[in-house]
Amino acid sequence: MKLLGFDLSTRRGTIALVNGGEIVCARDWPNDRRNSAPFFAALDEIIRERGAPEAIVVGLGPGSYTGTRIAISAAIGLQATTGAAVTGLSSLRFVCNRAGLAFPKRNE
């Protein structure tokens, strides 16, 4: 399944496309909440190169209210045009998952 995830609630905007459990592409950038152009440029690039996602996971914060609103609006717009399933996830879970990948458990 092709899954697109993005989060704009923190100081770094992030977007990634996962297919079959493998990260196909990922982008991040300094998130200036007054300018959503980097997010939409990355989103456009990924969809043009890799096609529409089957599912979308959007970060729900805590964090920037404006960034969260932009991300949710983008997810709803993508759902309307692609039919992809959308779900929200705490941005803290994104951080924890990434930390688990970067810092494996001891003795493993």
Residue range of the domain that includes 68? 2-102
What's the domain count of the chain?
Answer: 1
Residue 36 falls inside a structural domain: yes
Residue 32 has what pLDDT?
81
- Please write the tens of the pLDDT for every residue from 22-51: 999 999 999 887 789 999 999 999 999 999
Residues 6 or more apart in contact with residue 28 via CB below 8 angstroms:
12, 13, 14, 15
| Domain annotation covers residue 83 | yes
Instruction: Report how far apart, in Å, the C-alpha atoms of 63 and of each of 4, 31, 68 are.
Output: 20, 12, 7
What percent of the chain clears pLDDT 90, i.e. is strictly above it? 68
The residue with greater pLDDT, 108 or 15, is 15
Query: How long is the chain?
Result: 108
Torsions phi, psi for 90 (to 5 deg): -55, 135
Full-model pTM? 0.83
Query: For residue 108, is it within any domain?
Result: no
The reply to whether 107 falls in a domain is no
The DSSP element (H or E) to which 40 belongs, if any, is helix 37-50
CATH code of the domain in which 30 resides: 3.30.420.40
